Structure 1
Amino acid sequence: MASSGKSSFARTMKAVFWSFFGVRRRTDHEADMQLNPLHLIAAGLIAAAVFIAILIAIVHAVVN
């Protein structure tokens, strides 16, 4: 069973960050199977919101 340190929210954010780029080692992917599903959903929503905010900031910078 995974310890609370291994399934921390920071580790989940790291997994989501690398998944946005599509770069994961097989061992990391297999270790991700132990992550908390609720943490994955929250991390995915946060990462998507940050990504959209960055895109909007870039568009505003280019348009101005």
Structure 2
Amino acid sequence: SRCSSLQPELDTSEAVQKDFVQLSQSLQIQLEKIRQSEQEVRWQWEDDVENCSGCAVSVAK
């Protein structure tokens, strides 16, 4: 019957949707980790810095 032939398609669609949700969540987590790492303060040698990271004013000597 038509109903029984559509069931496998529905199952496949649901599985694909579930995979997409998991992938999306994984990417959100990775993106948040990247954003957090960009906010971390880290040491920079003064000779390597040309502009203030806070206000972009030149600090070059």
TM-score by length of 2: 0.47
Structure possessing the higher relative contact order (Cα contacts under 8 Å, 6 or more residues apart) = 1
Q: From the CA coordinates, give the structure whose radius of gyration is larger.
A: 2
